[in-house]
Amino acid sequence: MSVETAPGAPPPPAPAGLLQADPERRDRPRAGIGRSRAAAAIAVAAWALAVVAVALLVLARPTVDQNLLFFVVDVAVACVYGTVAAVTLSRRAHPVPWLLGLAAVGGGLAAFGYAYDLWSARPGGLDPSSHVALLQNTAWVPGTLALFLVVPWLVRDHPLGLEWVGLLAGSALTLTITTVEILEGSGLEELYWTAIGLGLVTALSVELRHRLGPVEERNGLGWLVVGTTILSVSFVPVLSPWTWLPYWITPILHLASQTVFPAAVLVAVLRNRMWGLRMVVSRAVLAGLMATGLLGLYLVATLLLAQVLPGDGVPQLLAAGAVAVAVQPARLVLARRVHRLVYGDASDPGRVVRRLGSQLVGSATVEELLGGVTEDIGRSMRLESVTVLAEGLGPVGWGEPTEPPTRVDLRHRGERVGVLEVSPIPGESLSARDLTTLGDLSSVVAAAVAVARAAADVADLRTRLSEVRLEERRVIRREIHDGLGPSLAGIRLGLQGARNLLRTDPEAGLTLLDHLQDEVEAATNGVRSLSHHLLPPVLDELGLAAALTELAGRYAGSGLEVTVDSDRFVDLDPQLAAAAYGIVSEATTNVVRHAGATHCWIRAAREDGWLVLTVGDDGTGVHADAVPGVGSRSMRERAAEQDGSLHVRPRPEGGTEVRAVLPVPGAARA
C-alpha cells in the first residue's frame, strides 16, 4: 500500500440537523470565542469547587462512613462532567453540554456543602451556614436528574418525533417539580418513582433509536442506554420499600455510570468532531470499566465465599485470585467493545469488509456499487470524504474534502486499477490504525472497481456489438436492394419477354434465355460471395487456413493477386477463427476498394500463444487526413472482442499493413 497527498478540495457543506450549530456560525468567530469562554468557565468552576471541597474535607478529617461515598460521587461528577461539558461545548453548539455543565457545577456545590459542613463542625472551623449545608442535598438534583431524564432525548441530529415530545416534556416537568420539592423539604418518594419510570422509558427510546434509527447516528447509543439505565435504577435503594438493599449501592451505581455515560455522550454528540480524543476516551473508558468490573467481582466473590468458607482471610484471598484470573479475559472483551464505541465500525475491518461485500452482491448499477462502497467506508471510519478514481470510470465519491486527501493505490490481481482518496475530519489525521484499516479495505475496493470496470466494458461491448450487427444488416440490405433485388426483377422481366419471343421469334428468344442464364449465374455468385463474406462454410468444415485460401481464390482474375501464407491450425476456437476470418476479409475488401494495389499478402501464424494476422498491399497507402470508416472500426471491434489488438500502419516499401494480434484461449503466452 502506498500513501501520498493530493491537492485540496472546496470546503464541505455546512452541517445540518435540528441541534447542530448554525451554518453561519463558523463564519462568526465571536460566537465561537464566546462558546469557548463558557466552556472554560464551566470546567474551571467545576474543578475549583471539587478541589476546594477535597481540601476542606482533608482539613475536617471526618470518619469514614457511607456518606463519604456520596461525597466521592459529587467530586467525580464535578471533575468528569465538567471536563466533558467543556470539551463538547468548545467543539459544538449543542444543549447537551450545558446540561452536563449544570450537573458538574451542581456536583461541585454539593461536595463543597458537605465538606464545609464537616469543617464547620470542628473546633477552629468556619462559622456554620445553613444555606451552604443545604447544598449537599439540593445542588446535585437538577443536573443529575437531567442526565437520565433529558440528556438522552437531545443526543440526536434529527428532529424529535411528536410521539416522544410528550415524554420529554414529562421528564422535564418531573425534574422541575423534584427540584422545587427538595428546596421546600417535602416528601419525594412518589417523585423519585416517577423519575425512575421515566428514566427507564428514556433508556428504552434510546435503545429503539440504536436498533432502528439512522445508521450514522447509532454509534454510542448502546452505551448511552446502559448509562441511562444505571442512573435510573440507582435511586431504588434509597426508597423506603427497598431499605433492605445496602444504602451504598446508590453511590456505587452512580460511579459505575460514569465509566460509560460521559464517553457515550462524547461519541454521540461530537461524532466527527472528536479531534484527538479517541485514544484518550478509549483508554479512560477501558480503565474505568476494568476498575469497576473487577471491584464488583471482588466484592461479590468475597460475599459469596464468606458464606461457605470459614476464616477471616480465605474468602478475600480467593476473591483476589478470581480477580487476577479475570483481568486478561475482561480486558480483551472490554477493549473490543470500547473500540467499537469510540471508532465505530472502523474498529472491526472484517465487519466493514462484509458490508462492502454485500454492496458487490446487491448493487444494481455501477454508480450504485461504487457510491455504496465509498459511503460505507466514510461512515464506518468516520472520515470526511472518500473518493474512488479509476481509469475508464468517472470519479465516485462521498463527502467533500476540506484538506489535501490521502491516496491509497488500488490493486487487483497485481494490476493498479485506481486510487482511493480519503480525507479525515478537520483537525484530525489518519493514524497508523486507520492506514492499516484502509490497506485491508483497499483490496475489496479494488475488486469493486474491477467489477465496475468489467460491467462498463460489457456495456460498451454490448453497444458496439449492436452497432456491428446493425452495420452487417445494412450491408446485407444494400446488397439485396441494390444487387440481388434488381437482378431478380430484371430476370423476371426477361423471362416474360423470352416467353413472348418464343412464339414469334424463337431464335431471339433463345438468345435472350442465354443472356438470362448469365444473369442468374451472376446473381448466384453475388449471393455466394455475400454469404462467404459473412461466414464461409469452409471455415467450419476445413478451418481457418482453408477459408483464407478460398478467400484469396475469389479474387482470381480481378486484377489483384492475393497470396496466402498460413499455418495449419488444429482445434482453433470457432469464435477466434470467425473473428480472424472477419478481420482478414474486411482488410482484403478495403485493399480492393481503396488501395489501388496489384498485390496483397495474407499471413496467419501462431506465435507464443498468440494468433498473429497480417494483411499487406503495395497500394497507395493511407492518407494522413483519412477518416476511419465502418470497415476499420469493424476490424478493431472484432479484435477487442477477443481481448486482442489491431494496428494499421504504412509499409516501408509502400502500401499499407494491417496487423492483428489475438490471444489463443488456453495457450501459454510469453
Those residues with Cβ within 8 angstroms of residue 414's Cβ, 6 or more apart along the chain or in another chain: none
Q: How far is CA 571 from CA 465, 474, 540, 542, 543, in A?
A: 26, 33, 11, 11, 9
| C-alpha cell belonging to residue 386 | 472518500
Averaged over 267-275, what is the pLDDT? 64
User: pLDDT tens digits, residue range 378-429?
Assistant: 777 777 788 888 877 778 878 888 878 888 888 887 788 888 888 887 766 7
Q: Which residues sit opposite 408 in a β-bridge?
A: 3, 420
pLDDT band at 608 (very low <50, low <70, confident <90, very high): confident
Q: 3-class DSSP state for residue 383?
A: strand
Q: Is 321 left (phi over 0), alpha (psi -120 to 50) or beta?
A: alpha
Indicate if the pLDDT at residue 446 is higher than 70: yes
Contact 597, 605 (CB under 8 A): no
Averaged over 511-531, what is the pLDDT? 73
> Which is higher by pLDDT, 517 or 624?
517
Tell me which DSSP letter residue 418 carries.
E
User: pLDDT tens digits, residue range 288-324?
Assistant: 666 666 666 766 777 677 767 766 666 666 767 776 7
Measure the CA angle with vertex 176, ends 170 and 180; round to 5°.
145
- Give the helix/strand (H/E) hosting 95: helix 95-120
Look up the pTM and report it. 0.52
- Neighbouring CB atoms inside 10 A of 72's CB total 16
The terminus-to-terminus CA distance of the chain in angstroms comes to 28
Sign of CA dihedral 413, 419, 424, 429: positive
Contact 386, 351 (CB under 8 A): no
Most confident of 202-211, 260-269, 402-411, 654-663: 654-663
Q: Which residues sit opposite 128 in a β-bridge?
A: none
What is the spatial distance between Cα 320 and Cα 295, in angstroms, rounded to a whole number?
Answer: 10
What is the spatial distance between Cα 226 and Cα 204, in angstroms, rounded to a whole number?
Answer: 10
Averaged over 357-376, what is the pLDDT? 63
Check residue 659 and give its pLDDT: 93
Q: What percentage of the chain reaches a pLDDT higher than 70?
A: 70
| C-alpha cell belonging to residue 493 | 422481366
Indicate if the pLDDT at residue 636 is higher than 60: yes
Indicate if the pLDDT at residue 17 is higher than 50: no
| Buried-state track 463-496, b at ≥16 Cβ within 10 A, e below 16 | ebeeebeeeeeeeeeebbeebbeebeeebeebee
Helix pair 366-380, 432-479: axis angle to 10 deg: 180
| C-alpha cell belonging to residue 387 | 473518493
The most distant pair of C-alpha atoms in the chain lies apart, rounded to whole Å, by 157
What is the spatial distance between Cα 291 and Cα 607, in angstroms, rounded to a whole number?
Answer: 73
Alpha helices in 559-604 (DSSP H): 574-590
What is the spatial distance between Cα 168 and Cα 622, in angstroms, rounded to a whole number?
Answer: 82
Check residue 49 and give its pLDDT: 93
What CATH topology corresponds to 349-448?
Answer: Beta-Lactamase (3.30.450)
Contact 42, 105 (CB under 8 A): yes
* Top CATH class, 538-670: alpha beta
- Neighbouring CB atoms inside 10 A of 203's CB total 22
What is the spatial distance between Cα 351 and Cα 341, in angstroms, rounded to a whole number?
Answer: 14
**What residue type is assigned to position 388 of the chain?**
V
- Neighbouring CB atoms inside 10 A of 193's CB total 14
Those residues with Cβ within 8 angstroms of residue 552's Cβ, 6 or more apart along the chain or in another chain: 562, 563, 564, 602
Question: Mean of the per-residue pLDDT values for the chain?
Answer: 76
What is the spatial distance between Cα 437 and Cα 347, in angstroms, rounded to a whole number?
Answer: 8
